[in-house]
Chain A
């Protein structure tokens, strides 16, 4: 375990907005400047981005089975309109 420096802690709560590109310019520049010099925070930002990408990719693979759709249309009495 590594205990980041206090200055790192100040930025952690903003990292989610930072990776979304939703921060105001001044704070964004402050974080970019910080991670350019702080290897630990650069790793946190990189692994945060990768974490989001991974669960987005794995979730996108989830398909609804055809039989689930069939039962849904039947429950709604729409079987005749199921394509």
Chain B
């Protein structure tokens, strides 16, 4: 569940009654989370800001349709994720779908980079260059995997919440998360082994 800055629950009734102060409170509680989510998916601050604004404009517009079956945060994340994927489609002209026919593929069976880089000093692991490399590795994940790793590992949603946001099964969330994590581990292993001459 998302941690909010204030514990008092947002009143859905007040939101539906057009209470501006309550909507401002909703925005204040969730805007950073939505911005981080958008930034990780679209990869640049300008598009992330567009996604942020469109998310809350759509939330305001569609509040009367919100049936309360999911939590407000899950609903907001669903809107934000869809907006971010729309930006990817627009910018890259790519077909970006959350449906992935390769969910059961066996690509985890490729040779693994087995280099023990955990022993490197923390300042090396957290260096600006390593962070930039990791950011690039995340941005280069296929959108279907990137969205899952962002929601589940970075934003801290549960497997169930992630499945609700993306409207896919919990098993699909777990499979995609596993593939994403292993790809990122592989990327970092290659990076650290080449940078520091670590032996297999």
Which A residues form the contact surface with B (CB < 8 A)?
1-4, 9, 12-13, 15-17, 22, 40, 43-44, 46-48, 50-52, 54-59, 62-64, 68-69, 71-73, 75-76, 78, 81-83
Least CB distance, A76 to chain B, in whole angstroms? 6
* Chain A residue contacts of B189, Cβ below 8 A: 47
In the complex, are the beta carbons of A1 and B153 less than 8 A apart? Answer: no
Asked if residues A47 and B126 are in contact (CB atoms below 8 Å), the reply is no
Residue pair A58, B56 in contact (C-beta under 8 Å) = no
By size class, the interface of chain B is 35 or more
- Whether a CB of chain A sits under 8 angstroms from the CB of B21 is yes
A64 to B178, CA, bound (A): 29
Chain A nearest CB, measured from B93 CB (Å)? 27
Verify B126–A58 contact, CB threshold 8 A. Answer: yes
**Interface bits B25-54 vs A (CB < 8 Å: 1, else 0):** 001100110011001100001000100110
Closest Cβ–Cβ distance, residue B37 to chain A (whole Å): 10
* B138 x A46 contact (CB < 8 A): no
Are the C-beta atoms of A2 and B116 separated by less than 8 Å?
no
Q: What's the dominant secondary structure at chain B's contact region?
A: helix
Q: How far is the CB of B142 from chain A (nearest CB, A)?
A: 16
Interchain CB contact under 8 A, B24 and A81: yes
Q: How many inter-chain contacts with C-beta < 8 Å in the A-B complex?
A: 122
Nearest-neighbor residue (CB-CB) of A63 within chain B? B32
Which A residues touch B114, using CB under 8 A?
2, 4, 40, 43-44
B188 contacts A by Cβ under 8 Å: yes
**Residues of A contacting B7 in the complex (Cβ-Cβ under 8 angstroms):** none
Complex contact B31–A69 (CB within 8 A): yes
Pick from B27, B116, B178: contact of A76, CB below 8 A.
Answer: B27
Contact flags B166-181 to A (C-beta < 8 A → 1, else 0): 0000000010011001
Tell me which residues across on chain B come within 8 A of A63, comparing CB atoms. Answer: 32
A52 in contact with B108 (CB, 8 Å) = no
Q: How far is the CA of A61 from the CA of B13 in the complex (A)?
A: 34
**CB of B125 within 8 Å of the partner chain:** yes
Is A52 a contact of B112 with CB atoms below 8 Å? Answer: no
B47 → A minimal CB distance (Å) = 12
Residue ID in chain A nearest B55 by CB atoms: A72
Residues A44 and B185 in contact, CB atoms below 8 Å apart:
yes
Distance, CA A59 to CA B131, complexed state (A): 9
Check B154–A56 contact: CB distance below 8 A. Answer: yes
| B75 part of interface (Cβ distance < 8 Å) | no
Q: Give the docked Cα–Cα distance between A62 and B94 (Å).
A: 27
Q: Are B126 and A13 in contact (CB under 8 A)?
A: no
